[in-house]
Every structure is written in structure tokens, then in C-alpha cells.
Amino acid sequence: MSKVFDLFIIGGGINGAGIARDAAGRGLSVCLADKGEIGGATSSWSTKLIHGGLRYLENYEFKLVRESLKEREIVYKIARHISKPIPFIIPHTDKIRSAWLIKFGLLLYDNLGGKTRIPKSKTLDLNKKFPNILKEKYKTGFQYYDIQIDDKKLTKLNAKDAKRNNAKILEYNKVKKAEIINNEWVISLQNKKKIKSKVLINASGPWINETLHKSIKIKSKNKIRLVKGSHIITKKLYKEDVAFTFQNTDKRIIFVIPYKKKFSLIGTTEVEVKSPENTVISKQETQYLIRSVNNYLKKQISKKDIVDTYSGIRPLIEDFKEASKVTRDYVFDLNIVKKLPLLNIYGGKLTTYRKLSEKVLIDLKAFLPKTKKGPWTDKKKLF
């Protein structure tokens, strides 16, 4: 137990792995522990997209969309082998959003992030372009592009690069207790080993407040809302390599995305839950997704067409809005406990993990004098 790490990270999701990679690449000594597999929970239960968040524009989150679009470009550059641009089609319906509103939103989406290699949006004649997929009443559509990615692989590649830079990565090793002894964080692990660190980062995703209360014994200043996003997987619904963004009458949207060549991925729902362990899709969520798809596609689906399902729990900062309007931006809660830093990371999304990691090291700069270099992860490819 003699070595004292610069950073100890609780949680091996995309945020934890991203921070470990960035910090280790700057010459800092890093240890990360996760109670399960790296990228095995929320970070592998996403919609598999690196995207700007087109629908966040309706909530006036222009800063988040701009940052997300810039990060979309960077992540595509550094993880090209596990990602690809994919066209999304929004079939237009007057009952939900007007054509001019969608066009204006897409104009912003095309330009907010600056220069990009991703194709720009355009208007389509759906009856000509996709006569065999959509119902005939959907005549006009709008096409834009986002990036499809292997989310779990992205997390693992970040952890792998952190290990290349001498980070210690511990899987299946829950943090039982973190306390301050002799002016150092002392972290007790499930395997009964103890690790010392100067800085403690709580990046445990939906378990963040549970970790804070039970393992670190500190009361959280931030209330979170746990929102379950569920997906269903069916056999491939159409041959074309194109995704669809379907609008629902409740103003929410769902995606239908080609998945692993033989399947279609349909999601996501937004249902509030009390526990981060509640990852089973409900009957109501299943019916919601089926109904949404059947409103648009000629090929009707039913429960018997589902070959698999999965759900992910997202921790969102409570701001007492309906779930779809709660911000997906991240919030840092930096505490100084007996002169030692504890950083809790709330929220965030797959797309902005790399920028989040950079900002963590900016905020902790005063506590990490051994840092040898500045930002670097936007240039070095993951492999």
C-alpha cells in the first residue's frame, strides 16, 4: 500500500475510462476500479450514437449541442474503425412539428459545430426515395447525419490506452470504503486491498449518490433523477442502410437504426425509476416502441418480432422538468474534504465524454502539480 496515486477513479464507464486515459497520458499515476466489467453497464446500453442532440435544440441547449457537434467530429476522427456516419430520415407530419421548424433546426445543426466532414442535411421526396418502407401518407422527409459507434468498445479502448500509459485498471472490484487517513484518500476494495490516492473521483454513473452515501459517507448536495432508456431489437425491418427518426404525438422521438447487419435497433423510452438496478424493459415501454414504429412503417411489427431488449439507466440532475426536458449536460461537484479533493460527476453523455475528461483535469489542476502536458486526446487515435 506504499504507492500513492495521483488519481483514484470509481467507475469504469465511458466517463471514468475517458478520465483515466487523459490523466495517464499526461504523466499522472491513475487507478480505476469498477464493480463489474469496464463499459459493462450504462455505457454499453446506449443507442450507440455519437450525436449533437438535435432534439436538445428545442430546450434551447445551444451550448451543449455545439460542444456535442464538435466532439462528434473528434470522436469520429480518433475512433474511425468502430464508427461510421449514418443518414437519419425524419418523416414530416404537420400534427407534431412544422416543416419550417425542422428545417431551421437542421440548419442550426449543420452549422453550430463549425467545419465538419459529416454531410449536411437536405429535404427528400419519401415516396420516391423509400417507397417500400414508409406509409404513403409520409411524402416529405428531412435527412441529416450522425455517427453510429460501438459504445462498449469505445469505453474499452479508452481503458486500454490508459493502461498503455501505466494506469491501473481493476475490474470486478467494488469500492467498499473511501476515507481520509494521514492526509491521503485510502480506498478499501472488495478484494481487501487498500489503495492510497491524492484525489478521488466518483464517476459511478447512476450509482453516484449511492457510492457517495455508502462508501464515502458524505451526503450529496445534488439530487438526481434516474431515467431508464429502453430499446428493442428486431430482425432487420428493411434492406437500406439508413436510420429513421420518428416523432411521436407526445413530442418525443425514437430511432430505428440498422444494427449488426441482421437487425434493427429501436429506442429509446424515457421512464423514471427509483433504482439503478431496474434495467428490465416494461410492457408499457415495449408497447410504446411498437406503436411508434407501426405509425410510420408499412411493415408492421408485434411483440413476437422482438429478438432481444436492453435498458440503460441515466443519472440526470434533478431540475423538476419532465424527463425529456431534463438537461443531458454534465455537472461537477467538487468537494474539499479535510483539504483533499473529491470530485463527483453527474450526468453527461457518450458523445461528450472526451471533453468532460479534459474539463476534469482543468478543474483539478491545482491538486495535480505533476501534470506533464496539456490536452492531447483529440489528436491520438484509439486502437
Query: How do residues 154-163 score in pLDDT, each as one tens digit?
Result: 999 999 999 9
In order of 333, 360, 363, the CA distances from 343 in angstroms are 6, 8, 9
Say yes or no to pLDDT of 357 above 90.
yes
Q: 267 and 232 in contact (C-beta within 8 Å)?
A: yes
Whether omega for the bond prior to residue 377 falls within 30 degrees of 0, making it cis, is no
58-145 belongs to CATH 3.30.9.10:
yes
pLDDT of residue 169: 98
Say yes or no to pLDDT of 326 above 80.
no
Look up residue 256 and give its three cell numbers.
430505428
> Which long-range contacts link 119-123 to residues 24+ away (Cβ below 8 Å)?
119/85, 119/87, 119/145, 120/144, 121/145
Say yes or no to pLDDT of 196 above 90.
yes
* Average confidence (pLDDT) over 216-230: 90
Which residue type does 285 have?
Answer: E
* Average confidence (pLDDT) over 10-37: 98
Tens digits of residue pLDDT in 237-286? 999 999 999 999 998 999 999 999 999 999 999 999 999 999 999 999 99
Say yes or no to pLDDT of 343 above 70.
yes
Q: Locate all alpha helices (DSSP H) within the chain, ordered by sequence.
A: 14-25, 62-78, 99-111, 126-129, 151-164, 208-214, 283-294, 353-363
In sequence order, what are the residues at sequence separation of 6 or more whose Cβ sits closer than 8 angstroms to the Cβ of residue 52? 65, 68, 69, 72, 109, 112, 113, 146, 351
Distance CA 336, CA 238 (A): 55
Q: 231 and 267 in contact (C-beta within 8 Å)?
A: yes
Q: How confident is the model at residue 221 (pLDDT cuts 50, 70, 90)?
A: confident
Tens digits of residue pLDDT in 138-157? 999 999 999 999 999 999 99
Say yes or no to pLDDT of 175 above 80.
yes
Q: How confident is the model at residue 220 (pLDDT cuts 50, 70, 90)?
A: confident
pLDDT of residue 324: 55
Domain ranges of the chain: 4-42+152-223+328-367, 58-145, 224-317
Q: How confident is the model at residue 81 (pLDDT cuts 50, 70, 90)?
A: very high
Tens digits of residue pLDDT in 27-65? 999 999 999 999 999 999 999 999 999 999 998 999 999
Look up residue 290 and give its three cell numbers.
411498437
Look up residue 343 and give its three cell numbers.
470530485
* Average confidence (pLDDT) over 204-221: 93
Could you name the CATH architecture of 4-42+152-223+328-367? 3-Layer(bba) Sandwich (3.50)
Superfamily of domain 224-317: D-Amino Acid Oxidase, subunit A, domain 2 (3.30.9.10)
pLDDT of residue 4: 98
Higher confidence at residue 327 or residue 75?
75
* Average confidence (pLDDT) over 61-82: 97
Q: How confident is the model at residue 319 (pLDDT cuts 50, 70, 90)?
A: low
Q: What is the mean pLDDT of the chain?
A: 95
pLDDT of residue 224: 87
Say yes or no to pLDDT of 293 above 60.
yes
pLDDT of residue 41: 92
Distance CA 171, CA 40 (A): 10
| Torsion sign over Cα 369, 371, 372, 375 | negative
Q: How confident is the model at residue 323 (pLDDT cuts 50, 70, 90)?
A: low
Distance CA 204, CA 17 (A): 11
Candidates 180, 220, 214; CA nearest to 345 is 220
What length does the chain have? Answer: 383
Strands 83-91 vs 243-247: parallel, antiparallel or unpaired: parallel
Q: Do domains 4-42+152-223+328-367 and 224-317 have the same CATH topology?
A: no
Distance CA 39, CA 158 (A): 10
CA 154 distance to own-chain centroid: 11
Say yes or no to pLDDT of 103 above 90.
yes
Distance CA 157, CA 142 (A): 34
Q: 4 and 184 in contact (C-beta within 8 Å)?
A: yes
